[in-house]
Amino acid sequence: MTEIRELRTHEEFDEAFAVFTGIWGFEQGNQPINPELMRALSHAGNYIAGAYEGGRMVGASVAFFAEGRALHSHITGALIGRGIGFALKQHQREWALARGIDRITWTYDPLVRRNAHFNLAKLGARPEEYLRSFYGVMEDAVNRGDESDRLLAVWRLTEPCVPYALEGAGVALEEEDGRPVAGETDAKVLLVAVPADVETLRRQDPGAAKAWRHAVRDVLGGLLQDGARVTGFHAKAHYVVERP
């Protein structure tokens, strides 16, 4: 059984940092978080939590208060496929609601299918802004060699997730032979594909990974800039986008 609790001590912050480093392979001088910053954020009343199984930390999350009565989730990492990430987000949700916060935001790589499915289909968050090269050059083991485009996900904690309709949907971006192929963009509802495994693609075919980055930036980023809304993630492969 997974236990989630807030972190308070130096030892706990060190454990959380070790979890993050194990996931992303941070190198010295290239860490988006460290134990000292976690200590400061915790002391200032922000959200720092860890997930435990059998007394061992298997996930952690760091979030801070943001403008507009929101909580910004800066980093969350957990062992994949065990429901730990979902348990952390539910704990974060209850923590925020108890403090009168009804909105949690975070950024994620729009090309990573499992994250898109988790954020949109499981949690009911919705991307509201495409952020080009948001973090600049990143040299961790996961992101190295790619540009840091991100989607800003917004989780409105008290609003129901409205089902999306796919009737008459057009395909704005599809995958053929591992590469992106642009399609129509004038339908009311559009599907925008992302690669099956961009992290492996970065290592094995950097050219294809770069092609996907620019294609999704142009198609999905362009649609959002023009006022379209992402309303779901279909079949663990396509963003569902509704034009105004």
Q: Return the CATH number at 90.
A: 3.40.630.30
CB atoms within 10 A of CB 188: 14
Per-chain mean pLDDT for the chain: 94
Domain count, the chain: 2
Do residues 149 and 178 share a domain?
Answer: no
Secondary structure (3-state) at 55 = coil
Classify residue 163: in a domain, yes or no. Answer: no
Do residues 184 and 84 share a domain?
Answer: no
Phi, psi of 180 (to 5 degrees): -80, 140
Do residues 109 and 204 share a domain?
Answer: no
pLDDT tens per residue across span 214-239: 999 999 999 999 999 999 999 999 99
Do residues 200 and 144 share a domain?
Answer: no
State yes or no: pLDDT of 206 exceeds 70. Answer: yes
Classify residue 86: in a domain, yes or no. Answer: yes
Q: Which of 124, 116, 45, 106 is CA-nearest to residue 70?
A: 106
Rg from Cα positions in the chain? 18
Distance of CA 199 to the CA centre of its chain: 14
Q: Which pTM value belongs to this model?
A: 0.92
The angle that helices 35-43 and 10-24 make with each other, rounded to 10 degrees, is: 130
Domain that holds residue 15: 3-156
Do residues 178 and 106 share a domain?
Answer: no
Task: Read off the pLDDT of each residue in 122-134 and give the average, rounded to a whole number.
Answer: 96
